[in-house]
Amino acid sequence: MRWWVLVLALGLSSFATAADKVMVMALFADKAMVAIDGRNYLLSVGGPAHEGVRLLAADSASALLEIDGKQRRMALNDQIGSRYKQAPTTDVTVWPNLHGMYTTAGGIDGQPVDFLVDTGASDVAMNAAQARSLGIDYMVNGQQSMVKTASGVVPSYSVTLDRVTVGEITLRQVNAVVLGGSQPDHVLLGMSFLGRLNIQRNGQAMVLQKKW
């Protein structure tokens, strides 16, 4: 029974140290000053978690935090209560990075992806290596054609993704294209996904909202 008491004690200790309130106080490249229950911590990407809060990414516009195992992107002065259960939402706010490009974490068929939001791309687009890492068998299931890119003429494969996820938004049966070669550098979140959403601007932020 002693081991069971120890496990229970550890579980209660972990619960007790979870943060109640989290607020972003300052933002830097790969670092963020975060107030956790009134105490300030300078968090670094790749560094340790404090009271259940870990920094996954940061720039001058926002920080991507993991709070008690859940990811949350927060801008300067944003504040949340991590134990307060928020009402379900299908709004996703995307902030520009230091280069003015809108990037966001998401998923394709259950695999994690860092997307570059591109309203000029007709479909979700990726290069061959990215497709292989996601387990997309584009050469078997894709419809091949040839397209002209900055690197020359390359093969292109049209495929259908079972599901694409950004935040709380998941869409099924999303058209995508896989390009031979090394371009694009990032997986592009194109209009085959974005066109099925409402897109609004809130200052510098881009707000994605699922249509009902």
Domain, as residue range, for 74: 2-86
75 lies in the same domain as 124: no
The pLDDT value given to residue 147: 81
Asked if pLDDT for residue 95 goes beyond 50, the answer is yes
| Per-residue model confidence as pLDDT tens digits over 108-165 | 999 999 999 999 999 999 999 999 999 999 988 889 988 877 667 889 999 999 999 9
71 lies in the same domain as 112: no
| Per-residue model confidence as pLDDT tens digits over 168-181 | 899 999 999 999 88
Alpha carbons 155 and 168: distance in angstroms, whole number: 33
> Of 52, 86, 120, which residue constitutes the final position of a domain?
86
The pLDDT value given to residue 16: 38
The pLDDT value given to residue 18: 58
* Sign, Cα dihedral of 199, 166, 27, 51: positive
Alpha carbons 40 and 32: distance in angstroms, whole number: 10
190 Cβ neighbours under 8 A, 6+ residues apart? 118, 119, 120, 121, 122, 123, 124, 125
Mean pLDDT of the chain: 84
The CATH number covering residue 203 comes to 2.40.70.10
82 lies in the same domain as 109: no
pLDDT band at residue 82 using 50, 70 and 90 as cut-offs:
very low
- Across the range 176-201, mean pLDDT stands at 93
116 lies in the same domain as 204: yes
pTM, rounded to two decimals: 0.58
pLDDT band at residue 19 using 50, 70 and 90 as cut-offs:
low
| Per-residue model confidence as pLDDT tens digits over 37-58 | 878 899 999 999 988 899 999 9
Domain count across the chain: 2
Question: Does residue 17 fall inside a structural domain?
Answer: yes
76 lies in the same domain as 145: no
